[in-house]
Amino acid sequence: MYPYQSPSPDSAQGFSALKRNEKYFLTGGDLFFLVEQEHFRVHRYFFERESPYFKAQLAIPAAPGAPRQGSSITSSIILDDVRSADFARFLWVFYNPRYSLYDASIQDWTAILALAHRWNFHEVKNLAVRELEKLPVPDIDKIVIYHKYDVDRRLLERHYIAVCEREQPLSMIECRDLGLETTVKIFRARESVRSTRSADGIRSPITASPVELAGIVKDLFDISEILTSPVEDTNDTLPANIPGSNPAGRLVIQLLILKIFSVC
């Protein structure tokens, strides 16, 4: 996030490419952003009230003789690595004309969740999660999204269970999206709730009761308490202290997962 710098006389082409966002360049707005090639003019109040991150950034005093950061179009705050369409979706939370009715797609709420998590808009993040909970998000997608944006994993218990109960194993694409640690844990859970393979190599159906399956999932994914740590690291380090695991079994699983990732 950087203050806007006016283009030089030689960059008239770049200057002419800039435009005002059609929906969120608001009369009376006192905070200016530049996202991609679009200017946004909104109200500072929401950003200072809802986000400790922006409250701190906007409290930084301007240099002598310089305008306050974000106070005019020429001192717009540049938001890097943000799509203007996603920023517009995020602003819609504050300027929704339907008051408490928030009707949006899974993609929209995921984009809102991403920015709320990035900028510490805690209430907006909670809203995005509540709305995603109402939508039919596939189990794997829900796990990936909630891990990425550090959402309470207690909300994922039924999705972990569904993945462990399903007949088909994880695909290579699903393994890649989930990351190594989560993939290994799901393999361990699926292995734990099924009996040993028969002579023809076919594994019997689930033998664990629903209560036992829930207990296995809670132990593996540490969801007895609210998660406070960041999203998992998806490097090639195996998780420690997996219930029911052993060194030989972990080695076999590690080699299997590394092979999967090498061809994904």
Q: Tell me the CA distances in angstroms from 112 to 144, 150, 160, 248, one per residue in order.
A: 16, 14, 24, 43
The radius of gyration computed from the CA coordinates of the chain, to the nearest angstrom, equals 24
Strand order in the sheet with 38-42: 2-3, 77-78, 31-35, 38-42, 19-25
Question: Is the domain defined by 2-132 classed in CATH 3.30.710.10?
Answer: yes
Is 5 in a helix, a strand, or coil? Answer: coil
| Burial degree of 112 (CB within 10 A; 0-12, 13-18, 19+) | buried
**Domain coordinates in residue numbering, the chain:** 2-132, 155-263
Overall residue count recorded for the chain in this entry? 264
Q: Is the pLDDT of residue 251 over 80?
A: no
CA angle 75, 81, 83 (to 5 degrees): 85
pTM value surpassing 0.85: no
CB 185 within 8 A of CB 159: no
What's the CA gap between 159 and 44, in Å, rounded?
A: 39
pLDDT tens digit sequence for 216-241: 888 888 876 544 433 343 343 333 44
pLDDT tens digit sequence for 32-88: 999 999 999 999 999 999 999 999 999 998 888 788 899 999 999 999 999 999 999
pLDDT tens digit sequence for 133-158: 999 999 999 999 999 999 999 999 99
pLDDT tens digit sequence for 3-23: 444 444 444 445 558 999 999
